[in-house]
Chain A
Amino acid sequence: MLTNDPLKRVLYIDLARRSFEVKERPELFEENLGGSGVGIRLLEEECPAGADPLGPENPIIFTVGPLVGLYPLASKTVAMFKSPHTGNLGESHAGGRSAVSIRLAGYGAVVIRGASAMPVYLVIDENGAQFRDASALWGTRSSYTTGSVLRRRESGSGTRSIMRIGRAGEKLVSYACVITETYRHFGRLGLGAVFGSKRLKALVVQGKRNLPVADRRAFRAAYDAIFKAAVDSPLMKKYHELGTPINVIPLDTIGALPTRNLQSGRFEGAEAISGESLAAHYLGRRVACAHCPVACIHLAALRLPYPNDPYFYKTLMLGYDHEPIFATGSMLGLGDVPGMLQVLDEIEVQGLDAISAGVTLAWATEAFERGLITEAETDGLPLAFGDAAVYIEAVKRIVSQPTDFYKALARGVEHAASVYGGLDFALAFGGNEMPGYHTGPACHVGWSVGARHSHLDNAGYSLDQNAAKKGQVLTPEFVGTTLLEEERWRQVLTSLVVCLFARGIYDRETTLNALAAAGFEWNVADLERLGTETLRRKIAFKQREGFDFGALRVPQRIIETPSPAGPFDEAFVRAAIASFSEQV
């Protein structure tokens, strides 16, 4: 690492003492690059064993990486914390301008300790952190308002990131998210609740400084190769044009689109909620994360009349992706696009993770249909698949928590089903709600074993689909081994903090060239060692906090509902989990 590269600077902020300090830790970044690699090391240092995830002892750690601010698609920030949702590793990634702002403010990592006695927000720039009173912002009904107030109140438009929580974070919903630049999220595993527990309403990070490179000519050459691949190559075309919802119709066609709490893999409304249909009827604007020419963020423009005021309309601009579409569309039986988008809007207003919210409500609806819960529990709300108005109200109640039932829903489907029954159709893996694929056993194994219990850990769904295409039969050992290899390499990508959509562009050679021009001397063996070691440390942290591969619950629903891979049983899933855990 170049001696004048600011990546080595770690900003430590103490919310209780309202103080900060900067420490230079070059070895931390030389050994672990950044992102996940540095994040897990800082989490080991900062988070005591058995920490209360909502106590002052739980740290919030943000890390970026060496390629940020230099190369395209190096656009992610990794957040590490102990998850209030699963009780073990909390790791969540977001783009927007977050990574570029942190790096160009002159930091490789930001560590937030303690809890504030009163609501605050922080302004971080190259001079450190300033504490601002957020008591007037606390309790604001809509997360959009918080964004809009901070935009006007703080400087640096264009070279800043505004990370904020909504009411869900304040009310400690265990799957509350942190929203950045309105349309990106540290979505999964409850970072929003950790913010809320610290009375931290928002973080404004401003930065635009220069970064040194080792070799200007090599830097420009490496840059141009990556840029050209991002703009021209077919690798990024699907994200660029229709975006991730390009998956909706293909998944539905093969029977892999989880529908009505995964009672089916096919949804009669798939056409309506597909990327093609949304682009044709609703796409209002495409936007990008900072330094990403691909622009995969698709915003739907939804024009709504006011029912009792003629000639009054409002136009919502809502980000849509495959996962929110699955979670609020097919999973809730909503093929009515305006209805689906309004449910999603309420989720954004409140600041919830869309996947966890949708999957939790899908379970609640089925539990209501089966009589496990009644209107006594729902406080008179007749939950029903396909009813957008009921779901909008339910989302509000998950946050306001008027009854014990909604308090349970605010802790996710695993907890709610453990109280009210229906675990067989409670679709959580490792305590985290399922993503939008039912392609076969490998996807479910993937998010069971994945350190974040996320579809981004290892892409098990692609193993299922490739096997189905080639007519191959998957074995548990193959699934366990392949998922492990994939997750190890992804630790390298998420330590560089390149977007996982660009994983086809940042191959080993491209990555090494880019690093060398920026002054980071690495080789393939060291990168692979870092991947293996980072995953091992993440799993070790999980196990220290009580995670046990052997105790993973396999919801029976995934066995019962036919998948395109054909029948599989729990023994297969358990054997694949065992194969992964033995090798890790």
Chain B
Amino acid sequence: MAKRLSVIDVDRCVGCQACMFACTRRTGSGGLEESCIHVQSAGGIRKGFTVIVCRACTDPPCARVCPTDALTPREGGGVRFKANLCIGCYNCVEACPFGAAFWDATNHKPQICVYCGYCADYCPYGVIALEEVVG
């Protein structure tokens, strides 16, 4: 079965962004450019936070609008991304209603979640977890 990252309880999010840093650190770097998870305030910190993750759609709109098949549906939900096929058209970024296709401005390519769950290991508050995709 395919796994995906789920937001279990956004009200427990403190906005520390440890998940975002984990995602880029997975590649071996510091900083945030390659992160495929995003935490921002829900309109000012007093209102709490919004956590944006790829929900692994079974019919993913980002793959539907990809002109080069760099993004293809993954069996069981979600997508696979082949960077060498990507022309950087930005269609996927605009197609995802959640904003979960992130943009790497340095490489002019999207950053797409690989459903590894590394970020969840660094969430001390149980906000996110790797789960089976339920269709």
Interface residues of chain A, those whose CB is within 8 Å of chain B, are 69-70, 72, 100, 104, 147-148, 151, 157-159, 181-183, 208-213, 216, 219-220, 223, 227, 231, 285-295, 299, 317, 518
Contacts and interface: CB of A to CB of B under 8 A. Distances in A.
A69 B24 CA distance: 11
A291 B30 contact: no
A145 to B, nearest CB: 11
Contacts of A291: 16-18, 21
Contacts of A285: 46, 48
Given A223-B25, A227-B122, A209 B45 contact: no
A182 B43 CA distance: 12
Contact of A72 (B18, B43, B125): B18
Given A69-B31, A286-B14, A291-B17, 7 more contacts: A70-B31, A148-B44, A216-B28, A287-B14, A293-B16, A294-B16, A295-B125
Interface in B42-89: 43-46, 48
Contacts of B125: 295
Given A159-B32, A209-B31, A147 B16 contact: no
Nearest to A158: B40
A212 B30 contact: yes
Given A158-B39, A288-B15, A518-B30, A210 B106 contact: yes
Interface in B1-52: 14-18, 21, 24-25, 28-35, 38-41, 43-46, 48
A463 B100 CA distance: 51
Contacts of B44: 147-148, 151, 182
Interface string B104-135: 00100000000000000010110000000000
Given A104-B31, A158-B38, A287-B14, A220 B25 contact: yes
Contacts of A208: 31-33, 35
Contacts, number: 93
B22 to A, nearest CB: 9
B33 A295 contact: no
Contact of B30 (A210, A290, A292, A299): A210
A518 B28 CA distance: 11
Contacts of B15: 287-288, 290
Contacts of B18: 72, 227, 291, 293
B32 A104 contact: yes
Contacts of A211: 29-31
Q: Which 6 A-B pairs have the closest CB atoms?
A: A158-B40, A211-B30, A288-B16, A317-B46, A295-B14, A70-B30
Nearest to A296: B14
Contacts of A295: 14, 16, 125
A181 B31 contact: no
